[in-house]
Structure 1
Amino acid sequence: MPVKKISHRALVTGAAATALALTAGVGIGLAADSDGESAPSASKAAPLVVPANTSGKDGTVITYGKASAPTTLSVYEDPRCPYCAVFERDLGPTLTNLADSGKVKVEFHMATFLDKRLEGKGSRTALGALGAALNESPALFKQFHTALYEAQPKEETTDTFGSTSKLLEIAGKVPGLRTHAFNKAVKEGTYLAWADKVGETFYDSDVTGTPAAKVGDRHITLLDEDGKAVSARQFTEEIEAAAAKR
């Protein structure tokens, strides 16, 4: 397994201690897309616009699930992280079922540090598009979130998500998402300033790599030593055990 990819592993119980060490204050500069379209740079982005259906200061927490759920699971991801794609592909359906059944409320804490590590803008631009989806509804956010990880390029250095036209193409796979408001927000970078806030807030946590998940201060195992997702049963049992000890 390439060392660079191992560095994206999460600091979770039972995983190898190879998590990515994050540094605060990452600044992201954007260049033109390869297809000629470009998202606004940090300096040209519109003033902070917070999507609907968020919580926390500046709306930096994305919540999916019922407010009455007895357990809150905090999930930490970067849109360009290949191991986040492994987690979402193999355990995403289980997580969605837990949330939809009212057992767990998921709070997503998204990061954009891989734009700095790998160069590019895809994490930030994808997060801005996720904000546009969230503004439509939490359900559409979750479906688009899943679609993005399914469409993640094989090579992590490929900045596919840096293209707004590619993001809109992926969004087209989610029924009902491509509204006029969504399209306009993605093209104009309406939620890029918000994406910057979300990315900055990630550094306030004690999480040093993605993907990661916690119930309170208890880390939940997502990947094994080989970078493969744990079983749905183990994932669910660890969440239940952590919740029982709170």
Structure 2
Amino acid sequence: MDGQEGKATRKGPGAPRRNWRLYGVTAVGLAVVCGVAAAVGQVVRAGEASAVEAPKYAVGSGGGTKLDLPVRPTVPVTLTVYEDPRSPQSRAFAQRYAATFSHLLASGQLQINYRLVTQSDKQYGGSGAKEAAAAAACAEDQGRFAQFMDQVWQHQPAPANDALKDRNLLTGLAKKAGKINHDAFTLCVDRGQRNGWVAQSQSEFAAAGLGEAPVVQINGRPLPVPPAQLTPAELTSLVSDEAQRVATAATP
């Protein structure tokens, strides 16, 4: 009994010291392993951070890194509307479809691109269409194209009357449109800053042989019937059908 107690007594004090040394060696080993793993992880992460890999749907131009992340309409339907500021037919179309366009724009199904043309100047003589189109482009510089053209349609003179070339009339229409800086608008008009742009628009329109304004295209294709023979309800139906077609084509 005494011998066993002596042995037990001798083992007791030494065992904790040996255990602590074992724990210390183990802890050091774990620290080394964790340190190596952390260093490896840092190297891997550093490599990942420096790699240039664009997200799947990123876009770009010019052959460089694709840095743009586009958010597009779910169903992109675009109407391209060619209109002539001096044309009674363009005026009638714009006023007849104003409410329909507003409704379709609000629905999120549609965007509208306007193209200004000036063929009525050749038809009637003078430069009213060109002057009004250039003034509308100057209004667009301030984000007021639609409002300015609404005033043109409301106050459009008879086509044989070349009154739209009158700068005072155009300035007055800009004031009626509201929220257009008078000095910037007048400077743009007086300097003819948008005349070249208007001439290019008319040149491309004539070269395309699209006929007389107004002309309407849906996603780059002509409407199945001329605008004069179209009703607002039929146009709404065409846009809805095109939206469905685009959605179906985009479905994998």
Q: TM-score, normalised by structure 1?
A: 0.64
> Does residue 142 in structure 1 map to residue 146 in structure 2?
yes
Higher relative contact order (CA 8 A, sep 6+): 1
SS at match of 1:136: coil
Q: Distance in 1 between matches of 2:98 and 2:210?
A: 20
Q: Distance in 1 between matches of 2:83 and 2:150?
A: 12
CA contact (8 A) 1:218 1:242 kept: no
Using a 3 Å threshold, how does the CA distance of structure 1 residues 204 and 184 change in structure 2: closer, same or farther? same
Q: Deviations over 1:137-189 (max 9, x none)?
A: 1xx11111111111111x21111211111111111111111432112112222
AA aligned to 1:76 is: Y
Q: Distance in 1 between matches of 2:138 and 2:124?
A: 25
SS at match of 2:141: helix
- Which residue of structure 2 lines up, in the alignment, with residue 99 of structure 1? 105
AA aligned to 1:179 is: H
AA aligned to 1:150 is: Q
Number of equivalences: 173
Q: 2:201 aligns with which of 198, 202, 209?
A: 198
Using a 3 Å threshold, how does the CA distance of structure 1 residues 113 and 190 change in structure 2: closer, same or farther? same
- Which residue of structure 1 lines up, in the alignment, with residue 233 of structure 2? 233
Displacement of 1:114 in angstroms is 1.0
Q: 1:186 aligns with which of 164, 172, 189?
A: 189
Overall identity of the aligned pairs, in %: 24
- Which residue of structure 1 lines up, in the alignment, with residue 228 of structure 2? 223
SS at match of 2:176: coil
Q: Deviations over 1:180-207 (max 9, x none)?
A: 2112112222211221112112124341
Displacement of 1:239 in angstroms is 2.4
Q: Distance in 2 between matches of 1:159 and 1:94?
A: 30
Using a 3 Å threshold, how does the CA distance of structure 1 residues 187 and 157 change in structure 2: closer, same or farther? same
AA aligned to 1:93 is: A
Using a 3 Å threshold, how does the CA distance of structure 1 residues 177 and 67 change in structure 2: closer, same or farther? farther
Q: 2:81 aligns with which of 59, 75, 82?
A: 75
Larger % of helix: which? Answer: 2
Give the RMSD, CA atoms, in angstroms: 2.1
